[in-house]
Amino acid sequence: MSVLVFLEHHEGQLQKGSLGVLSKAAGLGAGGVSGVILGSAIEGLEAEAGRYGAAIVYVADDEKLAAPLPQPRVDAIAQLVEEQGIETVLFAQSILSADLAAGLAARLDAGLNWQLVDIVAQDGGLVGKQSALGDSVLVDVGWTSTPRLGLFRAGVFDPVEMRAAGAMETFEVRFNEHSLLAEMLEQAHEEPSGPSIEDANVIVAGGRGLGAPEGFGMVEELAKALGGAVGATRAVVDAGWYPYAAQVGQTGKSVSPALYVACGISGAIQHKVGMQGSKVIVAVNKDPNAPIFEFADLGVVGDVHQIVPKLTELLRARTL
């Protein structure tokens, strides 16, 4: 059963999420696990892939792969799948991987399971685990044909060093004309504003109770008034409301500020483990039975849309 892992890299570094998926795939005992690295001027990355379990690392080094665009990568991986008889292609969640996996599913007419949190080898095949019903249960998901495509949630596996052969095989991609039509005009890095959540003394975090991505506006205002940083739950990060860098919890960051203000956050155990070290926890939630009130030092039962702006206003009035 041949498994290929897409190894994403930026600024000369293989991404931790991809290496985690590679380690997981190598530990499945499902046969030869290979990795694929696509880009331009990418010498040396294959050795690192070997350290995390890739028996073979396919490398296409081509200027047409320099920009992190999905379509030329669809050509490259589709070609490998066909030429090498690959049965499974796995990806770690990222914007590029999600675009690429979707494009590949369309190109190969293949089934794609996404938001996977685990995968096991079973009865000669593979079974994915997907969390459902607000992360309260895990369900088994499968594939009815090959190639199987799987996209894992961010951060579900840690990279584990396990030296494999790491033999490099280079290949030339045959690009489709239409795959090269998109052009990357500019890439900009997000400018950090205020302290990072790892360093902040105060964190104001938002959850699904904010109702919409725009709800983070008032969370940012409160964080600014307190000189703090903004945190988020995984539910809102997965929904694309706020960047992953702000995620607090089991698969995000562990923080221990002097003050943690949780706005519209239920207090699930996976969130709690990342913030329970905070000195003072304040929770605003409209449900008096929300689990967060079991471990908050101060609880406000109410609507975030009324309480949070009011709090900011009072703080600003005090500091004037």
CB contact at 8 A, 210 and 219: yes
Neighbours of 170 (CB within 10 A): 10
Question: What number of residues does the chain have?
Answer: 320
Binder of ligand FAD out of 17, 50, 72, 252 (CB under 6 A): 252
Q: Is 299 in the site for ligand FAD (CB under 6 A)?
A: no
Q: Is 134 in the site for ligand FAD (CB under 6 A)?
A: yes
Contacting residues for 280 by C-beta, under 8 A, at least 6 apart: 258, 259, 260, 297, 298
Binder of ligand FAD out of 6, 216, 234, 311 (CB under 6 A): 234
CB contact at 8 A, 65 and 40: yes
Q: Is 233 in the site for ligand FAD (CB under 6 A)?
A: yes
Q: Which residues pair with 205 in a beta bridge?
A: 231, 262
Q: Is 93 in the site for ligand FAD (CB under 6 A)?
A: no
- Numbers of helices and strands, H then E, in the chain: 8, 16
Nearer to ligand FAD, 134 or 227 (CB): 134
E strand or H helix that includes residue 88: strand 88-92
Query: Which 135-154 positions form the footprint of ligand FAD (CB under 6 A)?
Result: 135
Residue nearest to ligand FAD (CB): 249
Size of residue set near ligand FAD by CB under 6 A: 33
Least distance between ligand FAD and beta carbon 280 (Å): 19
Binder of ligand FAD out of 290, 296, 299, 312 (CB under 6 A): 290
Burial 25-34 (b: 16+ CB within 10 A, else e): bbebebebbb
Q: Is 287 in the site for ligand FAD (CB under 6 A)?
A: yes
Binding mask 193-222 for ligand FAD (x = CB under 6 A): --------------xxx-x-----------
- The C-alpha atoms of residue 9 and residue 21 are separated, in whole angstroms, by 14
Q: Is 128 in the site for ligand FAD (CB under 6 A)?
A: no
Residues lying near ligand FAD in the complex (CB under 6 A) are found at: 117, 131, 134-135, 207-209, 211, 233-236, 247-252, 264-266, 268, 270-271, 274, 284-287, 290, 303-305
